[in-house]
Amino acid sequence: MEKPTKKGVAPPMAWRTRLSILAAGCLTDATCRADGTINRRLLNFLDPHVPPSAAPRNGVASRDVVVDPAIPLRARLFYPCPSGGGGGTGDATKPLPVVVFFHGGGFAYLSAASRAYDAACRRIARYAGAAVLSVDYRRSPEHRYPTPYDDGLAALRFLDDPNNHPLAADDGDVPPLDVTRCFVAGDSAGANIAHHVARRYALASTTFANLRLAGLIAIQPFFGGEERTPAELRLVGAPIVSVPRTDWLWRAFLPPGADRTHEAAHAASPAGAAGIDSPAFPPATVVIGGYDPLQDWQRRYYETLRGKGKAVRVLDYPDAIHAFYIFPEFAEARDLMLRIKDIVAGAGGEH
């Protein structure tokens, strides 16, 4: 019997997963206001923060650090522990590569301390054997473009100064950090931030004394434009992402009066190309899901990088929804963690 063609707007999922996805959509819709603001008090109630854990959980410990007290800008540092039980395999004397991570949430939602991202960064640290610095960047609409990009570059400059690195002698099992093997990574809006931070780094790479970007991992990056793509039209009703939600998020993030041809949204725009041509722009991996309404923009992003001669590859997951990797029950989420492990182990690798 011939296999039926793909139907619907989502793959088969366990009911618990469906409830979690439904809750995520309700969180967004319940807290965004028609006037372009967000009910932060309600959001903080619905998205309670998880504290850092000096005691290893699943072999990974975490601590919060202050990146820039003047802002204030904070981040959460995750690191595998050699003596923490629960699968810890690290070596407190061996320098670890660093993944600078930016969480998703449309520039407006969630944080480095959100339960889903605390768990996701812990998995990345465990699988990749790397330190993960999850940046708690300022969010829109209170802080519009280019604030998250400024915060991302500030995190790189923080790491560039060895005096800012926690030491095992002072902080127990915290290993030394090897910032010559540094990656920027993120999902959705966080992947957009990772891209623009990589561009800014490439334009200013000679001003960094120690840090070198070895790779960019863009997991289902949030890009857009004024037209509606075939995937956006075909996948109406898909989990997590909808055109009305993304339109609202772009209005909340872009400068007043800007449309979605702005460089922040449109990776192929001439203004958005600055830095990509630099040899310091790192090798990139673009992750795309077959049930993600944003996939056509993500493929255009890949083609933009490839058209400029950059080292870039696609990881395609035909049955993946947007934000699939924060749900560890998906086989694709487990596979992506193994791919990230390979990327980090290869310090960028050959693409």
Which entry of 111, 114, 134, 188 is annotated as an active-site residue?
A: 188
The 10s digit of each residue's pLDDT in 171-222 is 557 889 999 999 999 999 999 999 999 999 999 999 999 999 999 999 999 9
Map out the domains of the chain with their CATH numbers: 15-81+93-345 (3.40.50.1820)
Q: Residue 95: which residues within 8 A CB-CB, separation 6 or more?
A: 175, 176, 177, 178
H or E stretch covering 29 = helix 15-31
Active site residue 47: no
What number is the average pLDDT over the span 110-125?
Answer: 97
Check whether 2 has a pLDDT greater than 80: no
The 10s digit of each residue's pLDDT in 39-66 is 999 999 989 999 999 999 999 999 999 9
Q: Could you tell me what percentage of the chain is helix, strand and coil, using 3-state DSSP and rounding each to the nearest 5?
A: 35, 20, 45
Which entry of 47, 151, 187, 292 is annotated as an active-site residue?
A: 292
Active site residue 143: no
Neighbours of 60 (CB within 10 A): 25
Distance CA 206, CA 29 (A): 44
What number is the average pLDDT over the span 102-106?
Answer: 97
Which entry of 103, 165, 266, 322 is annotated as an active-site residue?
A: 322
What is the pTM (predicted TM-score) of this model? 0.94
Check whether 84 has a pLDDT greater than 80: no
The 10s digit of each residue's pLDDT in 227-248 is 999 999 999 999 999 999 999 9
Active site residue 292: yes
